[in-house]
Structure formats: structure tokens, C-alpha cells
Structure 1
Amino acid sequence: MGFAAWSLTVWARTYCDAGYDAGGRFELNFLLPVVPAVGALVGLLAQAVGRRLALRAPTAVRVSLPALLVVVATVGAAWWFFATRGTLDGYPGDSGLCPPSNVPPQWPDWIRV
């Protein structure tokens, strides 16, 4: 999930030409190994919390709660990273393909922050 968020961030910055200069590429290349590692830690933490919460629960809850928390935590963390680092609001982009918010127009409204 972390790699997918990183890939979408690179694509958005390239498409809108916002934050893809030398400093922006350095930031993205530095974040490449960090984002998946943080995503894995978030997933492990969510799984541990889910197991702890479901200790005395019925079998269905004991099996599904940790998995549900992992999915919610990793998707939420990836979406947050992508929304904050992928679409740099107000950054002067030169491509002319995106509005001033630097959100590509073909993306659905629910992904925009």
C-alpha cells in the first residue's frame, strides 16, 4: 500500500508538474524506502491492537477485527500521505493540465482533501 501511495504521488507531481523539480524528486526518492516501511509498521500495530481488542470475542470477530483494522489503518495512512504529499496545493505547476490545487482533474472528488 505504501508503494502504491508513493507511485500515485510521483504520478500526480509529474502530471501537474508541481513539486517535481530537483528538490521534489529528492524528497520522493528519499521517501521511497520510508513509506512502505511505515505502512508495514502501521499494519503490524493495527493487527496487534485488533488482536488485543478481540481476545474474548466470538470467533468471527476475533478473526475479522484484526484484518479490518489493518486494512483501515494502511489505506488511511496511504491516503493521508498521498493527499498531503502528492497534491501540493498552491505549488506553481507549469503543465497547465491541473487547477491551482494540483489535483489531476480525472481523479474522483472523494480522493481530494
Structure 2
Amino acid sequence: MKDDKQLEQTEKDKRQKAIIEMIQTGKYRRQSAIVDELINQDFTAVQGTVSRDMREMKIVEGKDGSSCITTEPLQDMHRNELQRLLRENHPPITKILLFTT
């Protein structure tokens, strides 16, 4: 059973992935529009949460107010997704048998 911190992290990962997907479409130029769309997608989100997520993911705001994604958040997102899949599909190793010769 997952603990609360793992559930929160999963929710955060999903929300951040949704933010990246929204920005990539080019339809969402303002944080307020991103917050509204996250709420429409049944995420719990406020402007402060989105602002922190964007800062954490190194999403920068252009001079025209639009947001652009650096490559690092995309790499992190893929790494996080891979780690999640490994956790879900492979139980942790609890015992290691060591043979010496």
C-alpha cells in the first residue's frame, strides 16, 4: 500500500506532466488558464501550486508572457515515469544472497 507521500508525489507528477502537455500545445499562455484547465481535468490546483511546479520544472516565461519548456523538465519527466514503472512492476529486493569463493 502506498503511503501519503507517494500518493502526493504521483499526483504532483501527473499534474506536472499535464502542465507540460498544455504548454506544448501552445493554447495556454497564462498560468490562470493552466490552473483552469487543470481543474477541468480534476486536478487540485491553485495559481501558487502551478507557479511552484513551473519554477521546479524550469519552465520560463517569455517576454510576450508565453511559457517555454527547457529540455531538463522533459528529461526529468521521462526519468520519473521510468522510475514509477519500475517501482510498480518490480517489487523491491529484500534479500541478497552472496557467494564467495
Task: Give TM-score, length-normalised by structure 2.
Answer: 0.32
Structure with higher RCO (Cα < 8 A, 6+ apart): 1
Q: Which has the higher helix share?
A: 1
Instruction: Using structure 1 for the length normalisation, give the TM-score.
Output: 0.30
